[in-house]
Amino acid sequence: MKLAYWMYAGPAHIGTLRIASSFKNVHAIMHAPLGDDYFVRLVDMRSMLERDRNFTPVTASIVDRHVLARGSREKVVNNICRKDKEENPDLIILTPTCTSSILQEDLSNFVKRASLESTADVLLADVNHYRVNELQASDRTLEQIIAFYLDKAVKDKSIQLEKSIKPSINILGIVSLGFHNQHDLIELKRFCHDLDIEINQIIPENSSVNDLKLLPRAWFNLIPYRETGLMAARFLEKEFNMPYVDIVPIGLSNIKSCVRKIEEILKMYQLNKNYTSYLETQIRHVSQAAWFSRSIDCQNLVGKTAIVFGDATHASAMTKILHENMGIHILWSGTYCIHDAQWFQEEVKGYSDQVIITDDHQLVADLIAKTEPNAIFGTQMERHIGKRLNIPCGVISSPVHIQNFPLSYKPFVGYEGTNQIADLIYNSFTLGMEDHLLDLFGGHDTTDVITNTLSVKNELAWSSEAKQELAKIPGFIRGKVKRNTEKFARDNHYDCIDLQIMYEAKEKISR
Partner 1 sequence: MTINNHNITFECETGNYHTFCPISCVAWLYQKIEDSFFLVVGTKTCGYFLQNAMGVMIFAEPRYAMAELEEGDISAQLNDYIELKNLCTRIKKDRNPSVIFWIGTCTTEIIKMDLEGIAPKLEAELSIPIIVARANGLDYAFTQGEDTVLAAMCQRCPKRSETQNINCINKSLVIFGSVPATVNTQLTLELRQYNINVSGWLPSARYTELPVIEEGCYVIGLNPFLSRTATTLMRKRKTKLIGAPFPIGPDGTRAWIEKICSVFHVKPLGLREKEAQIWQTLQNYITLIKGKSVFFMGDNLLEISLARFLIRCGMIVHEIGIPYMDKRYQGAELSLLEQTCQEMHTRIPKIIEKPDNYNQLDRIRDLQPDLVITGMAHANPLEARGINTKWSVEFTFASIHGFANARDVLELVTRPLKRNLNVEVIPSTFSKIY
Nearest CA to 83 out of 110, 55, 61 is that of 61
Asked if 171 and 202 count as a contact pair (C-beta separation under 8 A), the reply is yes
DSSP string of 268-310?
HTT-----HHHHHHIIIII--HHHHHHSHHHHTTTT-EEEEEE
Report yes or no: 54 and 47 within 8 Å, Cβ to Cβ: yes
> Is 2 near partner 1 (CB under 8 A)?
yes
Among 454, 472, 493, 495, binds partner 1 (CB under 8 A): 472
Please tell me whether residue 63 binds partner 1 under the rule CB under 8 A.
yes
Query: Nearer to partner 1 by C-beta: 54 or 342?
Result: 54
**Cβ nearer to partner 1, comparing 103 with 279:** 103
Using CB under 8 A as the binding rule, whether residue 16 contacts partner 1 is answered as no
Q: Write each residue from 24 to 43 as x if it is in contact with partner 1 (CB under 8 A), else as -, in one continuous string.
A: --------xxxxxxx-xxx-
Options 106, 126, 196, 297, the catalytic residue: 297
Q: Would you count residue 106 as binding partner 1 (CB under 8 A)?
A: no
d(CA 111, CA 117): 10
In whole angstroms, give the CA distance from residue 253 to residue 223.
17
Q: Whole-number minimum distance, CB 15 to partner 1, in Å?
A: 11
- The three-class DSSP label of residue 196 is coil
156 catalytic? Reply is: no
Q: Could you say whether residue 103 binds partner 1 (CB under 8 A)?
A: yes
Answer for which of 7, 341, 424, 431 binds partner 1 (CB under 8 A) is: 7
Query: 52 phi and psi, to 5 degrees?
Result: -70, 160
CA dist 240 and 153 (Å) reads 13
DSSP state of 54: P
**How many residues does the structure list for the chain?**
511
The reply to whether omega before 399 is within 30° of 0 (cis) is yes
Considering only residues 371 to 390 of the shown chain, the ones binding partner 1 according to CB under 8 A are 381, 384, 387
Q: Which stretch binds partner 1 (CB under 8 A): 130-138, 153-161, 218-226, 312-320?
A: 130-138
Task: Print the SS3 string covering 133-179.
Answer: CHHHHHHHHHHHHHHHHHHHHHHCCCCCCCCCCCCEEEEEEECCCCC
**In the stretch 396-435, what mask flags binding to partner 1 with x, by CB under 8 A?**
-----x----------------------------------
Does 198 bind partner 1 (CB under 8 A)? Our answer is: no
Indicate the residue among 457 and 472 with the shorter CB distance to partner 1. Answer: 472
Beta bridge partners of 497: 462
466: nearest Cα among 482, 479, 484, 454: 482
Q: Is 471 in the site for partner 1 (CB under 8 A)?
A: no
Q: How far apart are CA 120 and CA 229, in angstroms?
A: 24
* Shortest distance in whole angstroms from residue 97 CB to partner 1: 6
Q: With CA atoms as reference, report the closest residue to 309 among 387, 363, 231, 247.
A: 363
Contact call for residue 183 and partner 1 (CB under 8 A): no
Residue 433 is labelled as binding a ligand: yes
- Is 97 a binding residue for partner 1 by CB under 8 A? The answer is yes
Q: Smaller CB distance to partner 1: residue 5 or 441?
A: 5
Q: Least distance to partner 1 from the beta carbon of 351, Å?
A: 29
- Closer of 283 and 391 to partner 1 (Cβ): 391
| Contact between 474 and partner 1 per CB under 8 A | no
Q: How far is the CB of 72 from partner 1 (least distance, A)?
A: 12
Nearest Cα neighbor of 174 from 162, 188, 160, 164 is 188
Going by the annotation, the residues of the binding site for substrate are 432-433
What residues are annotated to the active site?
297
Q: Which residues bind partner 1 (CB under 8 A)?
A: 1-7, 10-14, 32-38, 40-42, 44-45, 47-48, 52-56, 59-60, 62-65, 68, 79, 86, 97-99, 102-103, 129-131, 133, 381, 384, 387, 401, 469, 472-473, 499-500, 503, 506-511
